[in-house]
Amino acid sequence: MRATTGYDRLLLPTDGSDATRAAVAEAGRIAALSDATVHVLSVADSRNRFESPTAGIAADAWERAERERAEAAVDEAIDALPDDVATERIVREGIPKTEILDSVADADVDLVVMGTHGRTGLDHYLIGSVTERVVRNAPVPVLTVRAGATD
């Protein structure tokens, strides 16, 4: 008999980074305990390519690379989840924080499980935090998992 956590649908935003890998493991544990479905989301960032870390590449190449990265991140996360966990695949285009918050409503999720890089100080101020924005604005609980978190 499985324990129940009260969660039926989890949203797992991923960009394929180390921070999201830790969140994938935690979402897998929660989903396995509660028989929840994990909605795995990655966002192909649509912001102007000149505002991106890879500034200067052609717009169509940027969009294609972002879409491929997002699809690969979803595939990697789904592959890392336990085999008996139900998954839904979501790839969206837009601004990550906005698309994540929209997905909370669209998928009617009970919990968001997100990774965080743990940046502080000037790095946090300059780079910002998608996770922080989601925590502040999500209508459901958000569980943050720091990069490198262990069992």
* CA 89, chain centre distance (Å): 12
Residue 46 domain flag? yes
- For residue 87, what pLDDT is reported? 98
C-beta separation of 85 from 31 below 8 A: yes
| pLDDT, tens digit (0-9, with 9 covering 90-100), for 79-119 | 999 999 999 999 999 999 999 999 999 999 999 999 886 55
| pLDDT, tens digit (0-9, with 9 covering 90-100), for 35-63 | 999 999 999 988 755 555 556 667 777 78
Residue 131 domain flag? yes
Q: How many CB atoms lie within 10 A of CB 68?
A: 11
Residue 40 domain flag? yes
Residue 41 domain flag? yes
**Arithmetic mean of pLDDT over the chain:** 84
CA-to-CA distance for 23 and 144, rounded, in angstroms?
7
pTM of the model: 0.85
Task: Kindly report the CATH number assigned to the domain that includes residue 62.
Answer: 3.40.50.620
Residue 3 domain flag? no
In the chain, the amino acid numbered 7 is: Y
Residue 18 domain flag? yes
Residue-range definition of the domain harbouring residue 93: 9-146
- Alpha-carbon separation of residue 128 from 79, 97, 117, 122, 134 (angstroms): 29, 11, 11, 9, 12
Residue 4 domain flag? no
Number of domains forming the structure of the chain = 1
Residue 44 domain flag? yes
